[in-house]
Amino acid sequence: MALIYPVAADLPEPEDGSEPDFAELAADLSDTWLVEVAVEEDGDDACFGPLTARAAWDLAVDVDERRPDWLVSVVPLHVAGTADELVALFDEDDEG
């Protein structure tokens, strides 16, 4: 399976077979999401969205089931704000 999606690092491991908490993904990361599909390393790429967290997950899983050799990513579409605010997000991580 080549399905990539974000998870919070501080969350406990989910139980086998459990689905992501879509409300939490939307609240923590973004209200809108993209599904990126890479067919081959140097091949065609596509991006679909914006979608809700649930719709993006469903689309990514469906594509992955049909073409497990493709790389499918679920990506938050989020505007952090100004360049200073974006840099501050990473600076805080470095200082901790």
Q: Report the distance separating Cα 26 and Cα 39, nearest Å.
A: 27
**Tens of each residue's pLDDT in the chain, 96 residues:** 466 766 555 566 667 776 666 666 666 667 788 999 998 777 778 999 999 888 998 999 999 999 998 999 988 887 667 788 767 766 755 554
CB burial of 19-35 (b: ≥16 within 10 Å; e: otherwise) equals ebebeebbeebbebbbb
CB 51 within 8 A of CB 34: yes
Q: What is the pLDDT of residue 1?
A: 46
Q: What is the pLDDT of residue 51?
A: 92
